[in-house]
Amino acid sequence: SDPETERITVIMASGHYIYSSARVKGFRIGASVYLLKPVDRDELLARIETQLRFRDLEDQHLLEEKLALIDQVVTTLHHEIINPLSGILGYSEILNEADAPQESRP
């Protein structure tokens, strides 16, 4: 499947290939919807609306996956930055205490 065309909805309509095996073949070669002629206007509109809802749900799911990945990256980066900084701060406090005059030590 071509990434540039895989999200295109294909609606097939036929008055000749009305048997189940023909419809199954249509789905296998990429049809999202298979309608029998004569095509009922209301059914066609309902099928289009359904396909658009599916696409919206897919887009929402992809966005949620991307946001979850971004959250994971930010959490990992935060951890990777904070741990070394904690060590640096701890050692700098030890060095400051070692350099402090005797009378200011507790």
Mean pLDDT of the 22-26 span:
89
- The confidence score (pLDDT) of residue 79 equals 84
Whole-model pTM? 0.60
CA–CA separation, 20 vs 24, rounded Å?
6
Question: Over pLDDT 70: what percentage of the chain?
Answer: 94
DSSP state of 100: S
Residue among 46, 20, 47, 15 at smallest CA distance from 33: 47
Mean pLDDT of the 25-30 span:
89
Residue 25: which residues within 8 A CB-CB, separation 6 or more? Answer: 17
36 contacts 11 by C-beta, under 8 angstroms: no
Question: Which pair of structure tokens corresponds to residue 87?
Answer: 């060590």
**Lowest-pLDDT range, 25-29, 41-45, 51-55, 95-99?**
95-99
